[in-house]
């Protein structure tokens, strides 16, 4: 029975007594309660959407369990908008009968779940939770946001779901030991679910950066180093090959600055050279996608200063960019299949059609692009940390 009603343990001593009575009656009647104080469940594979909000994400590989109903539903809404596929969602609420430990043991055997995403405020059985998380983590990543990290947050969590206070340092140390990928912000849950469910894991921490302009390459390099990733020097043979693609004034270093060159084949040729290179484990590209807003603004300016220019040529450009982006993402997916390295993008200027995840027909991998360099770098750094933990295990 899905019990959405509030007014139980989250309200204090009387509510906790009522919840205990509820559980006793449910056990006598042989009923299993999910909740109370939940926003519902969904399973896109079975077109089951039993939530307190009309969100309908597409089927996918990410399972979300949230002890906060509204945060969970917001994550589903973001997932729907950003193209992140969902295996299932459960708002676990007060967990009077079905607890997060039960969910974890289900993830271990559910083959459709490739990434587990959790928002937790407390756990009832720490040893059982961390032991099951460790077993799950050996097969698939577990990404967690812990609510109640501060005294104020703990107080709010107690009144929200009746959560018990916990020492955050002990909790996070246990999570790291169990291989759980801990994040600090809700959007990081979806960023990592997009990355883990759509890309191969990096085999190391070396990153090749390709950028349409120099500044973003500098920012991305700083972010990589600050997050434990390395920016290796380009090999002389690789420089010679890229010399055949780019003008003589290109950077000849990592990041590879395309110096504004944007023939449709140029980014495809350069990224292929970088993926072939044994000196890197992942590629981040910046400004290659998301040119449509920039192009539309430029077309408006051209119409203003040169009203006599052939409008058919200008009006064909946005459509050509759409086709280029599809081809580029498909090319990157094929390279990921061939070389086993992740490719992450950063959009130049997102428009209303921009998505974090783009499906690639016929490929096990997807196109993944973020709105900012820091989101791309953080996602890659956490993928690398998870890979290191798995290798140690």
Burial of 307 (0-12, 13-18, 19+ CB in 10 A): exposed
Is residue 166 in some structural domain?
yes
Structural domain boundaries, residue 185: 9-198
Residue 189 and residue 220 in one domain: no
* Closest-CA residue to 119 (of 155, 76, 151, 80): 76
The mean pLDDT value for 2-30 works out to 95
What is the C-alpha separation between 393 and 384, in angstroms, rounded? 14
Q: How far is CA 200 from CA 120, 124, 196, 204, 381, in A?
A: 27, 34, 7, 12, 13
Contact assessment for residue 198 and residue 242, using Cβ atoms and an 8 Å cutoff: no
Is residue 380 in some structural domain?
yes
Is residue 4 in some structural domain?
no
Residue that terminates a domain, selected from 146, 177, 198: 198
Residue 146 and residue 289 in one domain: no
Residue 118 and residue 221 in one domain: no
Residue 140 and residue 19 in one domain: yes
Residue 135 and residue 215 in one domain: no
pLDDT at 171: 87
C-alpha 89: how far from its chain's center?
Answer: 16
Residue 163 has pLDDT above 70, yes or no: no
Residue 259 has pLDDT above 60, yes or no: yes
What is the C-alpha separation between 357 and 78, in angstroms, rounded? 12
Residue 61 and residue 141 in one domain: yes
Residue 46 and residue 106 in one domain: yes
Looking up residue 103, the CATH number of its domain turns out to be 3.40.50.261
pLDDT digits (tens, 9 = 90+) for 333-388: 999 999 999 999 999 877 777 899 999 999 999 999 999 999 999 999 999 999 99
Residue 276 and residue 146 in one domain: no
pLDDT at 46: 95
Domain count, the chain: 2
pLDDT at 197: 95
pLDDT at 313: 77
The mean pLDDT value for 301-318 works out to 82
pLDDT at 149: 63
Q: Give the confidence band of 164 by pLDDT, cuts at 50, 70, 90.
A: very low
Residue 116 and residue 167 in one domain: yes
Is residue 186 in some structural domain?
yes
Phi-psi region of 260 (alpha: psi -120 to 50; beta: other; left: phi over 0): left
Burial of 25 (0-12, 13-18, 19+ CB in 10 A): exposed
Residue 16 has pLDDT above 80, yes or no: yes
Residue that terminates a domain, selected from 198, 231, 255: 198
The mean pLDDT value for 123-127 works out to 91
pLDDT at 334: 98
pLDDT digits (tens, 9 = 90+) for 41-70: 999 999 999 998 889 999 999 999 999 988
Q: Calculate the CA dihedral of residues 131, 137, 142, 147 and round it to 10 degrees.
A: 30
Residue that terminates a domain, selected from 165, 198, 231: 198
pLDDT at 157: 53
Number of helices (H), then strands (E), in the chain: 13, 13
DSSP 255-314: SEE-TT---TTHHHHHHHHHHH-TT-SEEEEESSS--HHHHHHHHHHHHHH-TTS-HHHH
pLDDT digits (tens, 9 = 90+) for 182-199: 999 999 999 999 999 999
What is the C-alpha separation between 370 and 363, in angstroms, rounded? 20
pLDDT at 382: 98
């Amino acid at each position: 029975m899905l019990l959405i009603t509030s007014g139980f343990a989250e309200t204090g001593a009387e509510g906790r007594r009522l919840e205990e009575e509820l559980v006793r009656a449910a056990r006598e009647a042989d009923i299993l309660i999910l909740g109370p104080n939940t926003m519902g469940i969904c399973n896109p594979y079975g077109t089951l959407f039993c939530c307190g909000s009309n969100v309908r994400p597409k089927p996918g590989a990410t399972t979300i369990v949230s002890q906060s109903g509204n945060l969970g539903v917001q994550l589903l809404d973001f997932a729907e908008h950003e193209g992140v596929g969902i295996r299932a969602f459960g708002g676990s609420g007060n967990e009077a009968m079905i607890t997060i430990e039960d969910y974890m043991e289900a993830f271990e055997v559910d083959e459709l779940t490739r990434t587990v995403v959790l928002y937790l405020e407390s756990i009832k059985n720490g040893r059982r939770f961390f032991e099951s998380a460790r077993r799950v983590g050996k097969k698939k990543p577990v990404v967690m946001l812990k609510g109640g990290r501060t005294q104020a947050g703990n107080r709010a969590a107690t009144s929200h779901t009746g959560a018990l206070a916990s020492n955050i340092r002990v909790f996070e140390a246990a999570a790291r030991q169990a291989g759980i990928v801990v994040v600090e912000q809700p959007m990081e849950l979806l960023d990592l679910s997009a990355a883990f469910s759509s890309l191969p894991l990096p085999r190391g921490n070396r990153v090749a950066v390709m950028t349409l302009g120099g500044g973003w390459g500098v920012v991305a390099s700083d972010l990589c180093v600050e997050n434990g990733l390395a920016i290796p020097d380009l090999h002389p043979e690789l420089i010679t090959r890229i010399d055949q693609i780019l003008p003589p004034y290109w950077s000849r270093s990592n990041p590879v600055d395309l110096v504004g060159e944007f023939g449709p084949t140029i980014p495809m040729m350069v990224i292929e050279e970088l993926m072939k290179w044994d000196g890197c484990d992942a590629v981040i590209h910046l400004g290659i996608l998301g040119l449509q807003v920039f192009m539309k603004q430029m077309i408006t300016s051209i119409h203003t200063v040169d009203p006599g220019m052939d409008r058919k040529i200008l009006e064909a450009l946005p459509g050509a960019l759409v086709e280029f982006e599809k081809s580029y993402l498909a090319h990157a997916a094929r390279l990921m299949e061939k070389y086993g390295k992740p490719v992450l993008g950063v959009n130049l200027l997102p428009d209303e059609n921009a998505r974090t995840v783009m499906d690639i027909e016929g490929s096990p991998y997807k196109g993944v692009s973020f709105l900012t360099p820091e989101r791309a770098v953080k996602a890659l750094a956490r993928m690398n940390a998870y890979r290191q933990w798995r290798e140690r295990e």
